Amino acid sequence: MSEPSEPPSPDYAGAFQPTAWTRILQARDGSDTSLQQALEHLADLYWKPVFYHIRRKGYAVHDAEDLAQEFFRRFIERQGMRKADPEKGRFRTFLLSSVNNFLCDEYDKRNAAKRTPDPDYLEAQPAQEEAHSFDRDWATVVLDQAFARLREQAPREARILEAQRGGKTRYRELAEELGASESHVKVMAQRGRTKLRRFILDHLRDTSTSEEEAR
């Protein structure tokens, strides 16, 4: 899987709303089949944030891709979600801790013969900054997936919002491009924002724990 070497910057942060941890809890306490499906769904959603997190640890792109793939392979095989507990905090915090533990294990395996720790071993961001970066990357993935869904269902509305997301295109220019009046473009923009929020909420209902988790 080929990924960009650096994480993107998110937009539309205000579109996120409180939701429940439905998919995670149901899968954790359900059958092995439902758990496997949920794990694969979450792996798809969280692959990029995990990849970017590993990159920030100083790994090259290829190595970070391999490590991200291996992390999710083990997480799925070992049914790591069964250890998730909403009483102990957000799922993203749990997943980030799981990734860090995985990286420590990998480092230990590769450096077992040295017997002395590397002083620069996995030099990390401060914990709060690290968690913020992981949350930011996750939010970007959710937003990108919501935009992809909007492009499928309402391409003209998606075009307007994506132009506004870039901050360079005005309503007049969009009206000329789309062959519509400025007032109609504004109406389409509002409809698009409503749909985009709904698509984001659909993602969050499947993957967030609570109001705190969604923020």
Return per-residue pLDDT of the chain as tens, 215 residues.
444 555 544 443 333 233 335 566 666 666 666 667 767 777 778 888 999 999 988 889 999 999 999 998 888 777 666 666 666 667 788 888 889 989 988 887 777 655 444 444 445 455 677 788 888 888 888 898 899 999 999 999 999 999 988 776 788 889 999 999 999 999 999 999 999 999 888 877 765 544 444 44
Which amino acid belongs to residue 153? Q
Domain count, the chain: 1
Q: Quick check: is 1 in a domain?
A: no
Crossing angle (nearest 10°) for helices 171-178 and 182-207 = 100
Residue 86 in any domain: the answer is yes
Query: What's the alpha-carbon Rg for the chain, to the nearest Å?
Result: 20
**Which among 98, 131, 100, 126 has a CA at the least distance from the CA of 213?**
131
Residue 96 in any domain: the answer is yes
Q: In whole angstroms, what is the distance from residue 40 CA to residue 25 CA?
A: 15
pLDDT score for 22: 59
pTM over 0.75, yes/no = no
Tell me which residue range forms the domain holding 159: 17-116+125-214
Task: For residue 83, tell me if it sits in a domain.
Answer: yes
Tokens of 203: 């993602």
Q: Is residue 7 part of a domain?
A: no
Residue type, 170: R
Question: How far apart are the C-alpha atoms of 92 and 138, rounded to whole Å?
Answer: 9
Tell me which residue of 14, 188, 155, 177 sits closest to 147, measured CA to CA.
155
Q: Is residue 102 part of a domain?
A: yes
Look at residue 49 and tell me if it is in a domain.
yes
Amino acid 108: pLDDT: 78
C-alpha dihedral over 57, 60, 62, 68, to 10 degrees? Answer: 0
For 133, the token pair is: 């970066």
